[in-house]
Structure 1
Amino acid sequence: MMDTEHTDSDSYNGSVEKYYRFHSLIYDATRWSFLFGRDDLLDGIPDLSSKPRILEIGCGTGKNLSRLQYYFPDADLVGIDLSSAMLEVAKNKFIDSNQVKLIQAEYGADDIQLEPFDLIICSYSLTMVGDNIEDVIVQITDGLNPHGYIAVVDFNTSPFGWFRQWMEVNHVDLSGHLLPLLNKYYRPVISEKNDAYWGLWSYFTFIGQHS
């Protein structure tokens, strides 16, 4: 019997991997124009304990991990991403560093065993997860140390159906489903929504604590 759920997941992951083979070449040069709030998210991270363990899910080209090296010079940093092309770009940022570990995989895969983290960051990655988003949120919760933090910046929604459909073509869900889920599983420390391009879409910043 065909495992439909597994097959659908493999098909989606393969589609995302293909998408980023090209976009990895232009990602850092172009995404500043619409991935808003990434710097503000890192600026809002609370103080962490000495030698924290930090994970970024969907680390892409390593932009956030590079800044996290500056913020937390004694941290154990791990980045995970589906796209081998994006990770190849990221590796070039950390050639001389043993502080950062990069993993090509789907977060939560059975063959990936990770110790708990003090902070898990998701920067414009959760709206690309698909229908099993709540399962991923639960996995993130399980992957945090007691009183650990999740930090998320991502798209929220748009009042324009044509724009939501266009973003869906680009593997992004603009249904506004994420903030309610995050508030369900975490105690908010920061929760802000902002408009982009005069209301074409909204995005949010969320930092919450696992309690």
Structure 2
Amino acid sequence: MSAATTTEQTLARYYHLHARLYDATRWSFLFGRSDLQARIAALRSPQRILEIGCGTGRNLARLAHCFPAAQLIGLDLSADMLARARTHLRQHRSRVILRQQIYSQPLAPAPGFDLIVLSYCLSMINPGWEQVIRSARQDLMADGLMAVVDFHDTRWPAFRRWMAVNHVRMEGQLLPELQTHFQPLDSAVRRAYGGAWRYLRFIGTPRPIVHR
């Protein structure tokens, strides 16, 4: 069994336990999601949106409301989280497709999305987050937007270890890789709870793919 498969199974079990409590508890520390959406809207009016790791669908529902002409796809590996998402997205069901699957390769041979969103997802894909970024680059149209909000780092080793218990890696690893594959349009690192940790916001357009 590969490390990636083991991680997927572990996360599926984790969210089986947490799905019912997720929306009631995560608001207190998953910062920046509404701000990210507002900044996306100031830059584009996307027509084809992909959210990777859509979870309970709260964020996808906000995107559907903000962009009423858009078609949306939400992916998640957890059946329990997607069951919640179907409830939250009921009023948008004619425009939203939900799929239970991991995202380890592009969804189609040609780019098909003008917005790809990852909200507190990449930091939990260990191993495999680099491949997710590369695949998103291939799925994104040339003038599309890659939009990410996620944990960045912490100066407290004990907190870093605690987050690792909850499958989150907080070592500042995401931003440099995003900047490698996407030209930043809007990027920042912000403090949370007086600096207990920092989270990142990133919006960028695809850099040319270099074939080696």
Please say whether Structure 1 and Structure 2 have the same fold, judged by a TM-score greater than 0.5.
Answer: yes
Matched residues, percent identical?
Answer: 43
> Partners in 2 of 1:102 and 1:113 — Cα distance?
16
C-alpha deviation, 1:94, in angstroms: 2.4
Q: 1:88 aligns with which of 79, 83, 86?
A: 83
> Which amino acid in structure 1 is aligned with residue 48 of structure 2?
R
1:62 counterpart residue number: 57
Summarize the alignment of residues 89-104 of structure 1 with structure 2, pairs less than 5 Å apart.
89-96=84-91, 97-104=93-100
2:210 counterpart residue number: none
C-alpha deviation, 1:132, in angstroms: 2.5
C-alpha deviation, 1:109, in angstroms: 5.2
2:179 counterpart residue number: 183
TM-score normalised to the size of structure 1? 0.92
Are 2:146 and 2:205, in contact at CA under 8 Å, matched by a contact in 1? yes
Summarize the alignment of residues 111-150 of structure 1 with structure 2, pairs less than 5 Å apart.
113=108, 116-150=112-146
> Partners in 2 of 1:180 and 1:8 — Cα distance?
23
Unaligned regions of 5+ residues in structure 1, if any? none
Find out whether 1:33 has 2:49 as its counterpart: no
Aligned residues: 203
Unaligned regions of 5+ residues in structure 2, if any? 208-212
CA deviation vs aligned residue, 1:146-197 (integer Å, no higher than 9, x gap)? 1111000000000011111111111101010001111111111111111111
> Which amino acid in structure 2 is aligned with residue 175 of structure 1?
E
2:189 counterpart residue number: 193
Are 2:191 and 2:197, in contact at CA under 8 Å, matched by a contact in 1? yes
> Partners in 2 of 1:186 and 1:180 — Cα distance?
10
> Partners in 2 of 1:177 and 1:210 — Cα distance?
19
**Which of the two has greater helix per residue?**
2
CA deviation vs aligned residue, 1:129-155 (integer Å, no higher than 9, x gap)? 113222221101001011111000000
Indicate the RMSD between aligned Cα atoms, in angstroms: 1.5
CA deviation vs aligned residue, 1:44-68 (integer Å, no higher than 9, x gap)? 002235xx10000000000111111
> Partners in 1 of 2:88 and 2:199 — Cα distance?
28
Are 2:4 and 2:128, in contact at CA under 8 Å, matched by a contact in 1? no
TM-score normalised to the size of structure 2? 0.91
